[in-house]
Amino acid sequence: MAADTELVYDPETYVTGVPHAALARLREAAAVSWVPERSADGVEHGPGYWAVWRHAEVKHVLKNPALYSSELGATQIRDPATPEDLAYVRKSMLNMDPPEHSRLRRIVNRSFTPRAVDRLRERIVERAGVIVDEMIAGSADGTADFAKAAADLPVWTLADVLGVPQTDRYLMFDWASRVIGFQDPEYATISMTDAEAATPMAKAALAVRPRPRPDGTMPDPRTRDGIPDLYAYAHELAAEKRRAPGDDIMSIMLSRVDGDGLSTDEFENMFWLFAVAGNETLRNGIPGGMYALLHHPDQWHRLAADRSLLPAAADEMLRWWTPVIHFRRTATQDTELAGVRIAAGDKVVVYFAAANRDPRVFADPDTFDVTRAAADHLSFGHGPHYCLGWMLGKAQLVAMFDALLDRFREVRPAGEPQRLRSNFQHGIKHLPISWTLR
């Protein structure tokens, strides 16, 4: 199994796809096993970790924050480089435990009012149609990069949630690319923002954006110093929202009058969470769903014949593709999981990519089936950290594929996809497609 554990840790592996065969072997051998943090060239990146492969054990870890902490070592496999970096990431709700996590989540949940969510759903449907129409109109030969076109829907939706001017929305694409794709040379230095059309707030942020070093590398974007442009923008946006609140969710959070709103620091870190973590699952989930349909054309025709299958199909896309490969917790005390002794302070990493294909839960799990009841997938997490935006995430998937099915009789691959070099995010950077219009 040593070869399999090295394979699943190495980010280079994922350039050609998630190693599902290796994950299956590891999952069937044991619910929990040890993985060295070793690169392909043998360099040790850390002490290693306990990987959790099976669905039931993953759920157990995620619903027990008192035993498996998000805060102790944060939620990425590799430890922050310094105590200061650890203190920084602990300010994000993603890396908090109750009761502080519960307080912030309560504020967010109360701000996602039914009216606010319904308004967003209406706009999502409208925007999905515009994106597909623009993709068709912009193609001279009936082909397009679907990953690029589809990326506009999550950043557009997030701009609406955050109250970010639409001219600035691709700042969030850039920030998420740099943070999530730091292991990928293309994403580490990406810049898709149109500086000419940007607001003064955005231009000021772009002025402090880090530049590549002489060797081409960038500062670590998982530190505050590595992504100063995001915080510069968030600070100015918070000030603007306090001066002139809108009807967006972030304005609601900042302007609460019951003493339970967000401070400026909390707003900035919440902004990071939405702009980065709230972007990537759908940015890769939508192209991932298209990839699944391109390779299972019978499922495309099944959806075309029965649109009522789309909500279930959205869950199946997220299960089968699994945008987030894993998340880390840290044991707070000596414990035992599935017969394995785990010491206090050990890293415990749950593998969604393995759990979402656990045959104990999903029959014939490697098969993509839009009629499957896949609602128990873990792509939105589980327990206290269950994804805040899961309803909007599913709404975007349904709206995008509804718009595609309205306009296309069939879709086909038009070239090889390019995947993200990352052992954390199952990303697809470019997905060429062609189509036949209705």
Domain ranges of the chain: 2-437
86-117 per-position pLDDT tens digit: 988 898 899 999 999 998 888 888 777 777 77
pTM for this predicted structure: 0.94
pLDDT exceeds 50 at position 168:
yes
Over residues 67-79, the mean pLDDT reads 95
How many C-alpha atoms does 125 have within 13 Å on its Cβ side?
7
Q: Which of 46-60, 128-142, 157-171, 204-218 has the lowest mean pLDDT?
A: 204-218
The predicted structure's pLDDT at residue 119:
83
Q: Greater confidence, 157 or 261?
A: 157
pLDDT per position as a tens digit, 335-353:
999 999 999 999 999 999 9
- Mean pLDDT is lowest, of 12-21, 84-93, 264-273, for 264-273
Specify the range with the lowest mean pLDDT, choosing from 56-60, 256-260, 353-357, 377-381.
256-260
- Domain over 2-437 is classified CATH 1.10.240.10: no
Residue 121 has pLDDT above 60, yes or no: yes
User: For residue 261, what pLDDT band results from cuts at 50, 70 and 90?
Assistant: low
Question: Which position has the higher pLDDT, 177 or 411?
Answer: 411
